[in-house]
A and B are shown apart, each in its own frame.
Chain A
């Protein structure tokens, strides 16, 4: 149980285009979802926290107009990278908290974005 999926698992896009990443909780309701970014050989950095039906809360230094987060249902959150640039190339990982275990965050498999 407590499975989180992400789609796509990897994506290559051209500079200036937008790309959407989906994060789904498959077998539980995710009241809160988190989006993290991980550059090569670095740690995970929180980008934003989203609660179902509310606007996302972005971390300092993360442009909310560039990284659009929508958490429209209890099983789906999306991250749209708008006008992507090569420096946005990274590993994006979502996690979800729900009613399964209040202490646990369940991580998705990650999405590797390469902007050319």
Chain B
């Protein structure tokens, strides 16, 4: 069974600070995804990481993937209030028909 673990599950940080969210997964996976979810809304795709060493950046968010360690990170730089949301990582595999296995999510609150 493919397991995905995120930490921390809750994160309160001040504006302007940096922080990293970690995502570990248990078995070989084809791809690693990061999503953002605002309250009452569906998922917004942030990043799709396809290979070992992949790094992608969009604004204040940067995601990386280490397939050997089965670890992905989502780094937040100089946080702003608008980044407050829940962030999910997910992995897929051919064994599951490419359905996504999600982590529990990290609820991020950025305060002034």
Contacts and interface: CB of A to CB of B under 8 A. Distances in A.
A43 B88 contact: yes
A45 B96 CA distance: 13
Contacts of B35: 107
B42 to A, nearest CB: 4
Chain A, interface SS category: strand
Contact of A57 (B88, B97, B102, B105): B97
Interface residues of A, number: 22
A97 B98 contact: yes
Interface string B26-46: 000001010100001111010
B104 A103 contact: no
Contact of A32 (B50, B88, B97, B104): B97
A105 B100 contact: yes
Interface in A35-78: 36, 42-46, 49, 57
Contact of A103 (B43, B50, B88): B50
B97 A43 contact: no
B78 interface: no
Contact of B97 (A36, A49, A95, A110): A49
Interface string B92-110: 1000111111111100000
A110 B50 CA distance: 26
Interface of B: 31, 33, 35, 40-43, 45, 48, 50, 88, 90, 92, 96-105
